[in-house]
Structure 1
Amino acid sequence: MRRTLVLRNIPLLCFSVTILLIISSCSGTRKAFNPNKKFPAQQLQEDYQLFQTILEQKHPSLYWYSTQHQMDSAFNAGGLLLKDSMTEYEFRRVLALVVSNIQCGHTSVRASRSYQKYFDTLSIKRSFPLHIKTWSDSIVLTAPVKNTPLVRGDIIDAINGVSTKQVLDTLLRFIPADGNNMVAKSQLLSGTSYFASLYTGVFGWPKTFHIAYKDSLNREQSTVIQPVVVPKDSTSKGRKKPAAKDKKSKTNKLKEQRHLWLSAREGYAVMELNTFSGSPGLKRFFRNSFRMLADSGINNLVIDLRLNGGGRITNSTSLTRYLANQPFKTGDSIYAKKPSFKYGRFIKNNFIETVFTLVSTRKKNDQYHFNHFEKRYYNPNRRNHYNGHIYILTGGYTYSASVLVVNALRQQPNVTIVGEPSGGAAYGNTAMVIPDVTLPHTKVRFRLPLFRLVIDKELPKNGKGVKPDVYVSATPESIRKGVDTKMAKVLELIR
């Protein structure tokens, strides 16, 4: 874990239970690792007790969105499931159910390194055959399925005889989100790989998928599809890519993470920001982009944060300074529980993080406050400050550091927020420093955020995201037509 303060992206953020149950028919597996190995109940109980103890002693928001009684009940219920031996996957499923009760999008369960390596090196993988968009009670296809009548926009009513509502109700129980934010949970499930790993982990890998659905004319239909077999790409194994291709690949990757394009003829620009991490060189990107915008004279700027799961506070602050009309700060309060070297052998970089917290914080009422962020106000940039109208696109993936940007600008007269509420809670979250904890017997890992951040204490503590000024969501019809409803609405407002 770096010492740099971060608000890491969720989905990537947020739940990473990685339920990757691979049955014995998969070939090419590592002989040294057996995913079906069962751990004795005593080892599971010892790991579970450590898991519970570390959360109770170190997590600053264990009883923030859930009461102590609710968490005690969740811990007790999880413990009662450990009466017999289990595989790693089965144990992770128990931990995931408990963690979701914390209602913290930055606290999640992860596979052991050995299990993850095992999965990454499989010669053949089976993939879930559907690309979907989910809401709390419905699933819609976002791409056609080869060799089937299924097309984009079809509404899925049931999978293998289980209704869509029952499937979603079951899966949503495993997903952590700030204050049980359903916008965030539904958006996470809309990611094909996320839905696939969770669905097959909970319901198993069937030989076929029986799909009941409604077509574009609302007629009830059904079809049977097979899992997609994805062979490992062996063509590039052991080969070094040419330097020119590496450079092009890096350029394309940066473009996927952030880019700016101008439509001078129609008088608007779009800045797409999919992360606030340190790797894309964002401060230089902001400096060059806002210089270009100042020279262009464009009066409408669209900032797309729909896929931005967070990253470094310094990067989100850097962007906000080009947009804010008045001084702003990170949050009203930022604090950790008492730092301790206890359990350090299980917590990654615990010594460094503990020393860092002791040096950087000040004790107040048994809380260790990060005064640097609590008291410091950031002034807007004078040079190349953007003064035109700003449209911010938000949705369920808008999380962590991206919520700081939206919260700081939401009441500004020249800012219009368009889309769905942010996945990250408007009131606050628990993040910034997030080490991994590795349990000794199973080697299962879980993320442990150490700082509670109250962004705006005047807002209700209900886990809901920042509300858009103009609510827009995808619909089965817009998906069928391939229309980006949020961007279309912004362009309508501009015109």
Structure 2
Amino acid sequence: MNKFLLLITCYILFAASGIKAFAEEPQTSQKKSIVKAIKKHSKGNTKQDINYYYQLKKQYPHKYNFTDEQALNNLGYLYLSQGKITDALDIFRLNTKEFPHSANAFDSLAEALLKNKDKKAALQNYQISLKINTENSHAAYEIDKLKYPTIDKSKFTKIYSKQQYLEDIDELAYRLTTVNPNVYKFISKQKFWQLIKEKKKLIQVTISPINYAQFIWEISEIFASVSSGHTGLGYFNQQNEILPIKLRFPVETRLIDNKLYIIDGLINKNKVTSGSEITEINGKNVSKIMADIFKHLKSPGFIVSSKIDMFNGYNTALIAYSLGFPQTFEIKTKDNDNVIVLSPLKHYQSRPLIPAYQQCQKNLCLSTHKKIKTAIITIHSFNYYGSKFKTYKNFIDDSFKKIQNSDTVNLIIDLRLNNGGSSDTAILLLRYLAKKKFNYFARSQFNEKKGPFYPVKNRFTGKAYVLIDGNGASTTGHFVSLFKYLKLGTLIGEELGSNEFSTAGQNFFRSKNTEIFYTIGRYTYITATDSKNYTRGIMPDYFLTQSIEDYLNKIDTVLDYTLKLIKSNQH
């Protein structure tokens, strides 16, 4: 037979067989939901439900949709949300059997096992999930938490060999430069490797043995030099937890406008006064101490506000690390030039993340000021991934429904303290504010939606105000950048601790010898704005910093100013 005719014949036969198969095998959308069938048949016995599942699969393989992995997964999470952990485990196990190559199926099973306090089995399933999908950062994080459930505080004084320290620095440098695609964006290649060389030389020439605490402080400068919010040692938690109480700086301080103020004397209340400005600590000028500390704190680009807010959260530890853990602290204040010898701490409790003066003490709140027709939505976190997103969506949908059914004409969205989270949360919020369709990402690298996205039907049409601070990171920067670019309202507060650009989707690592935990961002995300300056945070329209007087008097400077601004605009 002619080769051309043979090819045509084969094509026709293949096509015909395909049409026949297509006629016999309905499209997925035409098939019935197997989960709905299970629910309808269920008598409350999951084992029987699973038997029924296999019975239907054998008898009616083309009638029901047996390829919908997510439907089974959702059923498992439904049981989990209802506290039916055993039922959830049965469904999640069914899902892993039906979809043995799904990382998500094993990840969900591991989560349920963890809720059932079966840590060994949870670890095994997270490891399977990570093996299937090496990009699954959630599984990697959970594996690390299961392997290292607590921080070993005894490691503070532990001494490793010089060779072990050098190996860990080399390993860190290699991972930073091979995993993070933007490692040289804010520091030159020459300066980065010069810093690595300096840290290694410090290890080699030091006569006195370097302990774990000193080493982790030194390498924190390497992370900070990369200027990436998702690359580093975390929020100083490791260093903070291993620090003995007696070595902490024994007064709480707050940095405001480059001045260090006492906000709580702690054990030294009889020696110092809240509101006093510290000028020297152990004979060293405060400005020099702060310059050293800032070299060790990460921030996106060259954003200072994020470093200030991190310092204010960990000040008792950071001052101790910077000064090399002195046994005694002596200070001078602006109103008292005499040296004050501080007593060491005996007990210490870190301050709450959300200040007491803020009305909302939860992650999500809605409140109203009826006299000025104003609603306040507080979102302290966008961290609502996976099944948790429903909680966030319900809150946002319900809040805007209440706003729509009221006479509200002003909306304040308080994003202070918000370290970011899921892009879906920001997109949903923008859809309630946007006047027209918009794109979210101009560039994204890992299953992130770019757009276009459209306003919801009942979008807010009044005046919108967003409150921001240096804590605002990651997705908060993405949201605020688009809020400003789309001209959706007014920004009030500090320079935001992030912007349009981020290197996120971090991988989790432990150093080979010292077992220090750290993360490295691996994907580039840029929101769809016209800004190309990624060195600074998003700037507010009205720049406000809380004074020391307002802080001590528990006055919410930024919110109070916004409410006054709204009142003045109404007259």
Instruction: Name the CA distance, whole Å, in 1 between partners of 2:409 and 2:398.
Output: 17
Contact 1:186 1:396 in 2 (8 A): yes
Q: Residue 200 of structure 2 corresponds to which residue in structure 1? A: 79
1:75–1:118 CA distance, 2 compared to 1 (3 A):
closer
Q: Residue 174 of structure 1 corresponds to which residue in structure 2? A: 296
Aligned to 2:490, the other structure's residue is in SS state: strand
Aligned to 1:323, the other structure's residue is in SS state: coil
1:132–1:380 CA distance, 2 compared to 1 (3 A):
farther
Contact 2:216 2:239 in 1 (8 A): no
1:420–1:221 CA distance, 2 compared to 1 (3 A):
farther
378, 389, 392: which one aligns with 1:272: 378
Kindly provide the amino acid, as one letter, of the partner of residue 199 in structure 1. Answer: I
- More displaced 10-residue stretch of structure 1: 479-488 or 257-266: 479-488
Contact 2:235 2:310 in 1 (8 A): no
- Kindly state the Cα deviation for residue 78 of structure 1 after the two structures are TM-superposed: 2.1
Q: Which runs of 5+ in 2 are unaligned?
A: 1-125, 139-150, 350-359
1:203-249 Cα offsets, whole Å, 9 max, x none, are 1444443232235xxx75653332332279xxxxxxxxxxxxxxxxx
Q: Residue 150 of structure 1 corresponds to which residue in structure 2? A: 272
Q: Higher strand proportion, which one?
A: 1
Instruction: Name the CA distance, whole Å, in 1 between partners of 2:136 and 2:432.
Output: 22
Pairing 1:326-337 to 2, within 5 Å after superposition: 326-335=436-445
Is residue 319 of structure 1 aligned with residue 429 of structure 2? Answer: yes
Contact 1:148 1:225 in 2 (8 A): no
Q: Residue 94 of structure 1 corresponds to which residue in structure 2? A: 218
58, 63, 66: which one aligns with 2:187: 66
Q: Residue 36 of structure 1 corresponds to which residue in structure 2? A: 157
Q: Residue 107 of structure 1 corresponds to which residue in structure 2? A: 231
Is residue 184 of structure 1 aligned with residue 301 of structure 2? Answer: no
Instruction: Name the CA distance, whole Å, in 1 between partners of 2:242 and 2:428.
Output: 38
163, 186, 210: which one aligns with 2:330: 210
Contact 1:148 1:223 in 2 (8 A): no
Q: Residue 338 of structure 1 corresponds to which residue in structure 2? A: none
Greater C-alpha Rg: 2
Instruction: Name the CA distance, whole Å, in 2 between partners of 1:317 and 1:87.
Output: 46
Instruction: Name the CA distance, whole Å, in 2 between partners of 1:473 and 1:141.
Output: 17
1:491–1:4 CA distance, 2 compared to 1 (3 A):
farther
Aligned to 2:203, the other structure's residue is in SS state: coil
1:116–1:220 CA distance, 2 compared to 1 (3 A):
closer
Identity fraction in percent: 21
Contact 1:5 1:313 in 2 (8 A): no
320, 325, 330: which one aligns with 1:200: 320
What TM-score do the two structures reach when normalised by structure 2? 0.65
Contact 2:420 2:475 in 1 (8 A): yes
Q: Residue 100 of structure 2 corresponds to which residue in structure 1? A: none
Q: Residue 430 of structure 1 corresponds to which residue in structure 2? A: 503
Q: Residue 340 of structure 1 corresponds to which residue in structure 2? A: none
Aligned to 2:368, the other structure's residue is in SS state: strand
- Kindly state the Cα deviation for residue 463 of structure 1 after the two structures are TM-superposed: 1.5
Q: Which runs of 5+ in 1 are unaligned?
A: 7-19, 21-28, 233-253, 336-356, 361-371
Instruction: Name the CA distance, whole Å, in 2 between partners of 1:327 and 1:227.
Output: 58
Aligned to 1:310, the other structure's residue is in SS state: coil
Instruction: Name the CA distance, whole Å, in 2 between partners of 1:321 and 1:37.
Output: 52
Instruction: Name the CA distance, whole Å, in 2 between partners of 1:266 and 1:117.
Output: 44
Contact 1:153 1:477 in 2 (8 A): yes
Q: Residue 121 of structure 2 corresponds to which residue in structure 1? A: none
Kindly provide the amino acid, as one letter, of the partner of residue 255 in structure 2. Answer: T
Aligned to 1:180, the other structure's residue is in SS state: coil
Kindly provide the amino acid, as one letter, of the partner of residue 446 in structure 1. Answer: Y
Aligned to 1:306, the other structure's residue is in SS state: coil
440, 444, 454: which one aligns with 1:379: 454
1:351-380 Cα offsets, whole Å, 9 max, x none, are xxxxxx6xx5xxxxxxxxxxx534x22111
239, 243, 253: which one aligns with 1:132: 253
Instruction: Name the CA distance, whole Å, in 1 between partners of 2:407 and 2:323.
Output: 55
Q: Residue 241 of structure 1 corresponds to which residue in structure 2? A: none
- Kindly state the Cα deviation for residue 66 of structure 1 after the two structures are TM-superposed: 1.5
- Kindly state the Cα deviation for residue 456 of structure 1 after the two structures are TM-superposed: 4.7
Q: Residue 228 of structure 1 corresponds to which residue in structure 2? A: 345
Kindly provide the amino acid, as one letter, of the partner of residue 436 in structure 1. Answer: F
Instruction: Name the CA distance, whole Å, in 2 between partners of 1:77 and 1:136.
Output: 32
Instruction: Name the CA distance, whole Å, in 1 between partners of 2:543 and 2:332.
Output: 31
- Kindly state the Cα deviation for residue 90 of structure 1 after the two structures are TM-superposed: 2.2
544, 551, 569: which one aligns with 1:472: 544
Aligned to 2:347, the other structure's residue is in SS state: strand
Q: Residue 488 of structure 1 corresponds to which residue in structure 2? A: 560
Q: Residue 409 of structure 1 corresponds to which residue in structure 2? A: 483
- Kindly state the Cα deviation for residue 286 of structure 1 after the two structures are TM-superposed: 0.7
1:330-356 Cα offsets, whole Å, 9 max, x none, are 321124xxxxxxxxxxxxxxxxxxxxx
Greater relative CO (CA pairs within 8 A, separation 6+): 1
Q: Residue 343 of structure 1 corresponds to which residue in structure 2? A: none
1:316-338 Cα offsets, whole Å, 9 max, x none, are 22222112222223321124xxx
Kindly provide the amino acid, as one letter, of the partner of residue 380 in structure 1. Answer: P
Is residue 305 of structure 1 aligned with residue 305 of structure 2? Answer: no
1:246-270 Cα offsets, whole Å, 9 max, x none, are xxxxxxxx95212111121232122
Kindly provide the amino acid, as one letter, of the partner of residue 269 in structure 2. Answer: N
1:258-295 Cα offsets, whole Å, 9 max, x none, are 21111212321222211111258211111111111111
- Kindly state the Cα deviation for residue 414 of structure 1 after the two structures are TM-superposed: 5.1
